[in-house]
Amino acid sequence: MKKLFFALSALAFAGIFTQSACTFKNEEDTYGGACDTSGVTLSGTVRPILEQNCYACHSVANANTLGAGIELQNYSSIKDFIDGAGNVFISALRQEEYNGVTASPMPKAMPRISSCEIQKIEKWIAAGAPDN
């Protein structure tokens, strides 16, 4: 009886940790860390996020074959896309509906980028998506 109790207790204990580990998508969602969105710029903040997460499909070289024609490497292309489909872009990054728009989750077949990175991109867009 003690062995059965111990085994069930161990399984329940392990289940708690397994469940909680899968609940959050990334570190700051898990720990609720503050996101510093001050001083967000295209060159210093947004472009590195795009390079790391988007250029495999949305670079000049790959946009037409892998990125549905959406190129996110040149400022003018980024700005045109944001001006025409900013809600689609944020919906895709959040991997959820945004302002009534649902887009294909991006980056495709990869985990969602961090909430902080998304907040930084949103801050940059809210500032008019300047070329800075």
pLDDT by 10s per residue, the chain, length 132? 455 444 444 444 344 333 333 334 444 444 557 999 999 999 999 999 999 999 999 999 999 999 999 999 999 999 999 999 999 999 999 999 989 999 999 999 889 999 999 999 999 999 999 999
Secondary structure (DSSP) of the chain:
-HHHHHHHHHHHHHHHHHHHHHH-SSHHHHHT-----TT--IIIIIHHHHHHHTHHHHSTTTHHHHSTT---SSHHHHHHHHHHHHHHHHHHHHTS-BTTB----SSTTSPPPPHHHHHHHHHHHHTT----
Q: What residue spans define the domains of the chain?
A: 1-26, 34-126
Question: How does the average pLDDT of the chain come out, rounded?
Answer: 82
pTM of the model as a whole: 0.74
